[in-house]
Structure 1
Amino acid sequence: MASGQESREELDRMAQEGQTVVPGGTGGKSLEAQEHLAEGRSKGGQTRREQLGHEGYSEMGSKGGQTRKEQLGEEGYKEMGSKGGQTRSEQLGHEGYKEMGSKGGQTRKEQLGHEGYSEMGRKGGLSTMEESGGERAAREGIEVDESKFRTKS
């Protein structure tokens, strides 16, 4: 196993070749530069969240995502999401990624309550490789109450 110093040297070499080795460090030409960029971006994001509050910050993120979707188109946006998921899976490993998904599901269940979470699962259960649960429900006349998906305040 490589020592911490050898690992940092390898990461620095990769960064100098143009790879992003620190999440949030994109554009940094060395490991240290990427670490500084990531820290600055994180602090900037925290400051902006404090300025806008949770609702405003969340809305800003949604608008940014929508703009990106319009820029890339439906397929490009899906591909971006898949690549992001794959990257995160590689970072966390199988067990870590599985745990992250489980925690996310549990959080969503708490947000929606039992009834909303069940309704969301029912819609998801209708999906196939060819069509989404919503598309199938519409085609077959199955009623899905999406108002139950709203996060409880």
Structure 2
Amino acid sequence: MAQQAEKAPELQDPEIRAELDQRARDAGETVIKSGTGGKSLDAQERLAEGRKKGGLSRTAESGKERADEEAGAVLIEPDEKALKEVKKDLGRK
């Protein structure tokens, strides 16, 4: 059975998500680790998930097979710099 991606707690906050999405759409900023190339927050999350699941190994088994065997879910995390700036803009610590 395939793993489900788990999002960092900060990515559960609607205000933070909206700000990160705006940065990704308007400025083309990478706001999710491994999300380079995505034009929105959702796109960057999907790219990061795919890269983490599919890019684990170049052994005989596929990356997906190895990801399925790894313990725990894939964690999608925001870029620290972007998150810090968004929190500052929202008046949070």
TM-score, length of structure 1 as denominator length: 0.30
Say which structure is richer in strand: 2
Q: Which has the higher contact order (CA 8 A, sep 6+)?
A: 2
Rg larger in 1 or in 2? 1
TM-score, length of structure 2 as denominator length: 0.48
